[in-house]
């Protein structure tokens, strides 16, 4: 497992297992147990995914010491008025006494209050590292100067068709790591059957998913691929035994369309998300 260092000195595995849309009907438990068995040591969940309980149980039942597994969860919009309560809720659901990384999931409404709450929970030892998610360049320029401490990551949509070069260059100035959500384009077939990517894969005996995840990690990003299929969970982790040449990196860099599937700056996005993921307790 390859680790990378965040700007607060915390080490994080460069690949984590994503759990968005894996239901809490035993499927999250099974998938996370499988991922840990295969060798993942970093799991990404969120209050809004409503599967923290199964993640926590899978971690406990794995028999792997807690400190060897990096857990990320996220504060939901409805909790920004009382971030400490949100953190406590995640800790309780996970059945843990600390969380390795906790993010402001969506940057709308009272972001400053939410951030101050996460800073306080970090000072209390409940969170080891704190970060943000879905911040566009415009939001980054507006919020970051108002924060007392820098986030350690910004978890954003990122894949070879949407490489997010503007926000990445802003973040690089503060040594803030990119975490790619949707690193496989959320299963986008145009990406997974791209001819250039398949050709590069042929050279190394790797599938498209492996080439894409290798590209992203080789460019310094943290990736969080999700799958419920054991063979994919396994193959998505097998990306550290080959290296793309600079020419191959440039071929993939040239695939960027600069069109992510979601626009964080779209009017009404915060309201839309609040309604879609209705966390009330
Ligand atoms: P991914 O890019 O990880 O794609 C997941 C999809 O790709 C699933 O449909 C999966 O299907 C399929 N897939 C997985 N591996 C392969 C493979 N090797 N070849 C072909 N298809 C494959 O998208 P996600 O949206 O899940 O993003 C990853 C993680 O990022 C999430 O799970 C979540 O933890 C986080 N996230 C964070 C967000 C945020 O706002 N901060 C937003 C969205 C995601 P199958 O399961 O059937 O294998």
Query: Which CATH number covers residue 170?
Result: 3.20.20.100
Q: Is 228 in the pocket of ligand 1 (CB under 6 A)?
A: yes
Domain hosting residue 245, numbered range: 10-259
Checking if the pLDDT of 68 tops 90, the result is yes
269 in any annotated domain: no
Kindly tell me if the per-residue pLDDT of 1 is higher than 90: no
What is the enclosing helix (H) or strand (E) of 81?
A: none
- Residue 69 falls inside a structural domain: yes
144 in any annotated domain: yes
Token pair recorded at residue 110: 């009272």
* Residue 79 per-residue DSSP state: G
pTM, to two decimals: 0.98
Q: Quick one: pLDDT band at residue 94, thresholds 50, 70, 90?
A: very high
Question: Mean pLDDT of all residues in the chain?
Answer: 98
CA atoms of 129 and 118, how far apart (whole Å): 9
Whether ligand 1 lies within 6 angstroms of the CB of 224 is answered as: yes
Total tally of structural domains belonging to the chain: 1
Q: How far apart are CA 189 and CA 184, in angstroms?
A: 9
Task: Give the Cα separation of 229 and 241 in Å (integer).
Answer: 22
Q: Are 55 and 32 in contact (CB under 8 A)?
A: yes
- Across residues 251-269, what is the average pLDDT? 97
The residue annotated as part of the active site, out of 29, 40, 49, 108, is: 49
The reply to whether ligand 1 has any atom less than 6 angstroms from the CB of 201 is no
Is 98 in the active site? Answer: no
How much is the pLDDT for 244?
98
Q: What number does the ligand 1 atom closest to the CA of 232 have?
A: 18
Alpha helix segments (H runs only) across 128-243: 137-143, 165-173, 189-192, 195-204, 208-218, 230-237
Of ligand 1's listed atoms, the one at least distance from the Cα of 155 is: 41
Query: Distance (Å, rounded) from C-alpha 57 to C-alpha 33?
Result: 9
> How far is 105 from 212, CA to CA, in rounded Å?
24
Residue 34's CB: how many other CB atoms inside 10 A? 18
Is 281 a member of any domain? no
Tokens 């260092």 belong to residue: 5
Confidence of residue 96 (pLDDT cuts 50, 70, 90): very high
Please report whether residue 219 resides in a domain: yes
The three-class DSSP label of residue 41 is coil
Nearest CA to ligand 1 atom 35: 181
Q: Kindly state if the Cβ of 90 falls inside 6 Å of ligand 1.
A: no
51, pLDDT greater than 90: yes
CA of 210 to the centre of ligand 1 (A): 13
Query: By percentage, how much of the chain surpasses pLDDT 90?
Result: 99
278 belongs to a structural domain: no
Spacing, Cα 15 to ligand 1 middle (Å): 13
Q: In this structure, is residue 171 part of a structural domain? A: yes
The answer to whether the CB of 131 is under 6 A from ligand 1 is no
Q: Read off the pLDDT of residues 169-208 as tens digits, 9 standing for 90 and up.
A: 999 999 999 999 999 999 999 999 999 999 999 999 999 9
Residue 213 exposed, middle or buried by CB count within 10 Å (0-12, 13-18, 19+) = buried
**In terms of DSSP bridges, do strands 70-75 and 153-157 run parallel, antiparallel, or are they unpaired?**
unpaired
Q: What is the pLDDT of residues 110-137, one digit of tens each?
A: 999 999 999 999 999 999 999 999 999 9
């Amino acid at each position: 497992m390859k680790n990378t260092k965040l700007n607060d000195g915390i080490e994080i595995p460069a690949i984590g297992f994503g759990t968005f849309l894996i239901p809490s009907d035993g499927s999250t438990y099974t998938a996370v147990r499988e991922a840990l068995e295969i060798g993942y040591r970093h799991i990404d969940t969120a209050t809004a995914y409503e599967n923290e309980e199964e993640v926590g149980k899978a971690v406990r039942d794995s028999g792997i010491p807690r400190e060897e597994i990096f857990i990320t969860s996220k504060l939901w919009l409805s909790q920004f008025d009382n971030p400490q309560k949100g953190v406590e809720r995640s800790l309780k659901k996970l059945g843990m006494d600390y969380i390795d990384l906790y993010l402001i999931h969506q940057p709308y409404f009272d972001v400053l209050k939410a951030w101050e709450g996460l800073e306080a929970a970090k000072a209390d030892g409940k969170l080891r590292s704190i970060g943000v998610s879905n911040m566009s360049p415009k939001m980054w320029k507006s919020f970051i100067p108002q924060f007392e401490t820098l986030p350690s990551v910004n978890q954003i949509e990122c894949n070879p068709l949407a490489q997010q070069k503007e926000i990445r260059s802003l973040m690089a100035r503060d040594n803030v790591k990119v975490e790619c959500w949707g690193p496989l384009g959320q299963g986008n077939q145009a990406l997974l059957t791209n001819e250039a990517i398949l050709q590069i894969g042929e050279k190394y005996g790797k599938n498209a998913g492996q080439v894409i995840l290798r590209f992203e990690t080789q460019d310094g990003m943290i990736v969080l691929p999700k799958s419920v299929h054991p063979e994919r969970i396994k193959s998505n982790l097998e990306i550290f035994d080959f290296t793309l040449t600079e020419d191959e990196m440039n071929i993939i860099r040239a695939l960027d369309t600069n069109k992510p599937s979601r626009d964080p700056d779209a009017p009404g996005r915060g309201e839309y998300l609040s309604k879609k993921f209705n966390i009330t307790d």
